[in-house]
């Protein structure tokens, strides 16, 4: 059974069909790119897959369970994490605290134990601290633990956002234009980071990206959309020479 099984989903905003007949399957550990010109509907698809929008047509199944109409936090509990086109971090918190907030989804102590600062609370807080530092360590960011997120260079903020998404122990990770605003050096590092994540965490990754060198370089297969509809699917080398894809990009 695929991890993600999307059948013919679509959404209409005020009479305008932004996305239609969109289908995709993701198997564990796959690295797939979702590409298309500006305004093609990529973020709208992510928003449907993560519970921000409810599709007006079709069916989304995560690990076989119907996910249409679930709220974003329920989708996180189904093992899906995402990052955003515009980085969303708690800018005034430290790097470590940004990660810890994500781990708190799994906390088991009760409100009473937390308010009264009972041992169960401290034990679990110490464990979250340890796990957050360990995760930062995997991304070579342990020395940034006490830095305020907003004071980090752009590339590192992106990395932190991905790192925080992983703290929810997802099976699937959706990255919305992770290379946006990055310089070529940061983009190269990001490619390595994405490969590392897939191999280390065994997550399936769905990646929206405008940077063609990035998607072509790391994705095993690509889905191309234009005006809300799939126009091509295939391996990067097939997509590169696909006439419809070339026309869609030249025309945008």
Ligand X SMILES: Nc1ncnc2c1ncn2[C@@H]1O[C@H](COP(=O)(O)OP(=O)(O)OP(=O)(O)O)[C@@H](O)[C@H]1O
d(CA 60, CA 24): 9
User: Can residue 38 be called a binding residue for ligand X (CB under 6 A)?
Assistant: yes
Stretch that binds ligand X, among 33-41, 118-126, 155-163, 186-194 (CB under 6 A): 33-41
Nearby residues of 205 by Cβ (< 8 Å), 6 or more positions away: 30, 31, 32, 172, 173, 174, 175, 194, 197, 198
Count CB atoms within 10 A of the CB of residue 252: 11
Q: For the chain, how far is it from start to end, CA to CA, in angstroms? A: 37
User: Can residue 42 be called a binding residue for ligand X (CB under 6 A)?
Assistant: yes
Stretch that binds ligand X, among 32-40, 132-140, 194-202, 233-241 (CB under 6 A): 32-40
Nearby residues of 184 by Cβ (< 8 Å), 6 or more positions away: none
User: Can residue 18 be called a binding residue for ligand X (CB under 6 A)?
Assistant: yes
Q: CB nearer to ligand X: give 44 or 171.
A: 44
What is the total count of residues that contact ligand X (CB under 6 A)?
10
User: Can residue 122 be called a binding residue for ligand X (CB under 6 A)?
Assistant: no
Binder of ligand X out of 41, 51, 55, 155 (CB under 6 A): 41
With beta carbons less than 8 A apart as the criterion, state whether 238 and 216 touch: no
Residues 55-94 that bind ligand X (CB under 6 A): none
- Beta-strand (E) ranges in the chain? 4-13, 16-26, 31-35, 57-62, 65-66, 80-83, 172-176, 204-208, 221-226, 229-234
CA 135 to the chain's CA centroid: 17
Least separation in angstroms between residue 225's CB and ligand X is 7
Least separation in angstroms between residue 223's CB and ligand X is 12
Least separation in angstroms between residue 237's CB and ligand X is 23
User: Can residue 179 be called a binding residue for ligand X (CB under 6 A)?
Assistant: no
User: Can residue 39 be called a binding residue for ligand X (CB under 6 A)?
Assistant: yes
Q: CB nearer to ligand X: give 18 or 167.
A: 18
Binder of ligand X out of 36, 51, 55, 178 (CB under 6 A): 36
């Amino acid at each position: 059974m695929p991890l993600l099984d999307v059948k013919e989903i679509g959404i209409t905003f005020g009479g305008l069909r932004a996305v239609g007949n969109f289908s995709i399957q993701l198997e564990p550990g796959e690295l797939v790119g979702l590409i298309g010109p500006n305004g093609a509907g990529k973020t709208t698809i992510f928003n449907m897959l993560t519970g921000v929008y409810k599709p007006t047509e079709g069916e989304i199944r995560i690990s076989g369970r119907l996910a249409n109409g679930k709220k974003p936090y329920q989708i996180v509990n189904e093992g899906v994490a995402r990052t955003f086109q515009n980085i969303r971090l708690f800018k005034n918190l430290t790097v470590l605290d940004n990660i810890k907030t994500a781990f708190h989804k799994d906390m088991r102590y009760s409100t009473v134990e937390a308010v009264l600062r009972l041992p169960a609370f401290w034990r679990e807080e110490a464990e979250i601290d340890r796990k957050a530092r360990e995760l930062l360590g995997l991304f070579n960011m342990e020395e940034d633990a006490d830095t305020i997120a907003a004071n980090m260079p752009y590339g590192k903020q992106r990395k932190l956002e991905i790192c925080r998404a992983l703290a929810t122990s997802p099976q699937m990770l959706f990255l919305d234009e992770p290379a946006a605003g990055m310089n070529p050096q940061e983009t190269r590092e990001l490619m390595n980071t994405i490969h590392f994540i897939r191999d280390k965490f065994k997550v399936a990754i769905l990646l929206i990206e405008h940077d063609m060198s990035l998607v072509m370089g790391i994705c095993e297969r690509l889905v191309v959309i234009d005006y809300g509809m799939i126009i091509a699917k295939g391996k990067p080398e097939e997509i590169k020479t696909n006439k419809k894809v070339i026309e869609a990009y030249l025309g945008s």
